[in-house]
Amino acid sequence: MYIDTHAHIFRANISSANVVRYVPNYDASCEQYLANLKEFNFSYGVLVQPSFLGFNNSYLLQALKEHSNLRGIVVIDPNNISDLKEKNVCGLRLNLIGKDKPNFDDYKEALEYIKEFNLHIELHKELDKLLFIIDDLAKYNVKIMIDHLARPNKDTFKLLDEFNNYKNLDINFKVSGFYRLDEDLAFSKDVFDKLSDIFDIKHFVYGSDWPHTNYESKINYQKALDDFLKVTNDKAKIILQDNAKELFFI
């Protein structure tokens, strides 16, 4: 049972966020994504709300209702956690690239729900700023998922050692988006090796990051998987299969 824990679906030229970095001019449909899962022998997929759709999770939630092998990670207004309570939603994403550190007091209700129902909170932020966010989040005792191997670059690589201070937290990593890490696969392997020296391999899951927004001309589903196998080597099988089951209610 292979599980892809990170993909996006959307319609062309639609944005619901107040500030966006990028809005794709093409469709990435649920049907296309399901075809990828079938072709590459994945049993389950996890849809992650993209930043440019803001709090409008409707397209994602509709896909979850129609397909039992999909799970979802939503983005919410902290004053309205209703989407977090929808069936087969298993986490809350904070898209923090280019944004200030959140005030987690604003997310009190959401964090209480996440803890009570064993969901997780997903963080997308560059490593040098991510560590401060984890410090603030630690007191809430919730599961944490970190996107794209914590988004270090070659200048911030040494900061990965700081994760030694968080071994007592339930922190997990998506082995994904290598092209977002200085577009250097060897560097991505160094990052993975460093983190997997600190955390047990059960804390890592695979994500295709399909359809690879902003990098569509450089990557596809096949290459994303091939690169993952090169980065993780003999650890690939357990990452692809068992690790994601509890985190994503599979």
The Cα 131–Cα 127 span in angstroms is 6
Portion of the chain with pLDDT greater than 90, in percent: 91
The pTM assigned to this predicted structure is 0.95
Which residues are CB-contacts of 245 (< 8 A; sequence separation ≥ 6)? Answer: 1, 3
| pLDDT in the model for residue 109 | 97
Average pLDDT over residues 51-72: 97
Mean pLDDT of the chain: 95
The Cα 179–Cα 212 span in angstroms is 9
Average pLDDT over residues 125-147: 96
- What is the largest distance, in Å, between two alpha-carbon atoms of the chain? 44
Average pLDDT over residues 221-249: 95
Nearest of 29, 68, 73 to residue 48 by alpha carbon: 73
| pLDDT in the model for residue 23 | 84
| pLDDT in the model for residue 187 | 96
Helix (H) or strand (E) holding 109: helix 108-116
Residues in the chain: 250
Q: Domains of the chain by range and CATH?
A: 2-247 (3.20.20.140)
Residue 13 binned pLDDT confidence (cut-offs 50, 70, 90): confident
pLDDT 10s digits, 24-38: 899 999 999 999 999
| pLDDT in the model for residue 14 | 84
The Cα 162–Cα 52 span in angstroms is 31
Helices (H) and strands (E) in the chain, counts: 8, 8
Q: Is the pLDDT of residue 18 over 90?
A: no
Average pLDDT over residues 151-165: 96
Tokens of 134: 């984890």
